[in-house]
Structure 1
């Protein structure tokens, strides 16, 4: 029964994944081109506010991946151990490390080599960030905080912000569950999640507006 449950597909989850992937792709297209749907037929028929929401909901899509990941992991734990109270934490963290760390090490080795060679999109701006800082932030899962202090990382490195959030969740969420009452915990997570997502989106859109103003001035 356990094997069948783990290998079966969930149509609803697959649909959510597909929607999240689509939103992430559209979001990244919107970064260099601003509203990619604006100059299309959609721009003639749909409100600009709706187009903006579609184009800049990539971070919310990442949050969907987090929720799906938590649901699947919790479901698997419940199937293996029967109850969350009987979870073998050592086995759980060993399994997560085995799944994440080998590939992360390979990615970081490649990113570091490209950065040291000065390849655009991988090498940090002089005086703003360093290869050692980027590497240290990635290995300690504080990459999102590092970017908050130093600015956007090179495009090749920037994707590591979501991994840092996920790993901190694995380490910090169990402690919050033990320390806080359930209602306070849920309320705090909702506020922090909403604020963190919109702070990053606002900063990104401000940077886009500044770039557009500079381009207009130079013309």
Structure 2
């Protein structure tokens, strides 16, 4: 069976769940912001605007073209938070309650997803250009089946990209397929000495599984195994944070700083690292994010800390990351349409970024209030929440954090 934390084994009272981890919310906020800027940048690239004369090109590219990397950051965060919550509720992955696990995932994911698919279907039926499924071999019923059947990534890999608002669902297909199998594997394997090596092999396979798919650009980006490898890195990070808490502050800082350094290297200078590391750049990214998350969790457990209030706006993006991810393309496509209707001077495209960011936040907040929160409460009550056999607090666990 999974072992409990050292504090639990020694009889020391484990800390009760505290407030949300501000560092993790900040990382999620940065990631969703980079996804948003990426989707604007594909249509209004900063390198073609007035900033190109004042800001180094690698900085502008870092702002515009880290959306794919940011999705892998989300994969690691998702594995970390969901595993941490499972450890806190059941005390070990071998004691995970599969029914309760699936119910929580269903209640979290389904309300927003169903509403999004309904809206996209209506827009397609009305013939709205940016939402019309019209590639050869693609149809609305088949796209709906792919989204609900968790293989939209495979569908795009074989039939080409879907319109932007559909396309974002590729990552959801990978995540939820992983979490369909995760409880079953945990309950079948049970033994930590076997489960951790299996997850480690999956996490470390990322460069090879990604490189092996080079013949199909879309499928290489969106295949199951590379994304699952990133999620596995997050699972391992949560397991490590649960079982070990260093006493020295310098050790915690070292993990955080190493994670930040690796993450910054990928986001800022990946083009220069690629000739040497190639597909291992993604492994450097996922391992760096795992180290950062572990360090942030340990920092939370070490005692109260006051994050810089000036970044609260970015943390709020992190708290709404799922809702913003699903809805932001409505804002992006709308503003790009208005931009072209107003003459479309690419030199001043940067000005259209200014309303896009707050509008995406507002739409995400509205979706959370009107759909996510009430839908999750209703589904949670309807599906029922079986009582966990043991509610042990993960050291420094962030109550209420959701992936």
Q: TM-score range by the shorter chain?
A: 0.7 to 0.9
Please say if residues 38 and 51 of structure 1, whose CA atoms lie closer than 8 Å, have aligned partners that are also in contact.
no
Supply the distance in 1 between the matched residues of 2:147 and 2:15 (Cα, whole angstroms): 34
Q: 1:188 aligns with which of 205, 208, 211?
A: 205
**1:98-135: per-residue Cα shift (whole Å, max 9, x none)?**
22123322221222122122122222116341111111
* Matched pairs, number: 200
Matches within 5 A, 1:83-102: 83-102=92-111
* Number of the residue aligned with 1:61: 70
Q: 1:213: which partner in 2?
A: none
Counterpart selection for 1:16 from 19, 24, 27 = 27
**How far apart in 2 are the matches of 1:92 and 1:3?**
23
What is the RMSD computed on CA atoms of the aligned residues?
3.3
Deviation at 1:27, TM superposition (A): 0.6
Q: Secondary structure at the match of 2:130?
A: coil
Greater CA radius of gyration, 1 or 2? Answer: 2
Question: After superposition, where does 1:59-208 map in structure 2 within 5 Å?
Answer: 59-125=68-134, 127-172=136-181, 181-192=198-209, 199-200=217-218
Summarize the Cα distance change of 1:172–1:42 in structure 2 as closer, same or farther, 3 Å threshold. Answer: farther
Give the whole-Å Cα distance in 1 for the aligned partners of 2:14 and 2:116.
33
Q: TM-score, normalization: structure 1?
A: 0.76
Contact 1:143–1:164 under 8 Å retained in 2: yes
CA contact 1:122–1:156 (8 Å) conserved in 2: yes
Please list every run of 5 or more consecutive structure 2 residues that lacks an aligned counterpart in the other structure.
1-12, 190-194, 222-403
Q: Give runs of aligned pairs for residues 42-61 of structure 1, distance below 5 A.
A: 43-46=53-56, 48-61=57-70
Q: Which has the higher contact order (CA 8 A, sep 6+)?
A: 2
Secondary structure in structure 1 of the residue aligned to 2:131: coil
Q: Tell me, yes or no, if the aligned pair for 2:47 and 2:60 is still in contact at 8 Å.
A: yes
Deviations 1:11-41 (A, max 9, x none): 211221121122112211211123x155344
Instruction: Single out whichever of 82-91 and 119-128 deviates more from structure 2.
Output: 119-128
2:47 is aligned with 1:30: no
* Alignment TM-score, normalising by the size of structure 2: 0.44
Q: Is the Cα–Cα contact under 8 Å of residues 176 and 185 in structure 1 kept in the other structure?
A: no
Distance in 2 separating the partners of 1:195 and 1:22: 30
8 Å CA contact retained: 1:25, 1:58: yes
Tell me what 2:249 maps to.
none
SS at match of 1:33: coil
How many angstroms does 1:184 deviate by? 2.8
The answer (yes or no) to whether the contact 2:153–2:219 under 8 Å persists in 1 is no
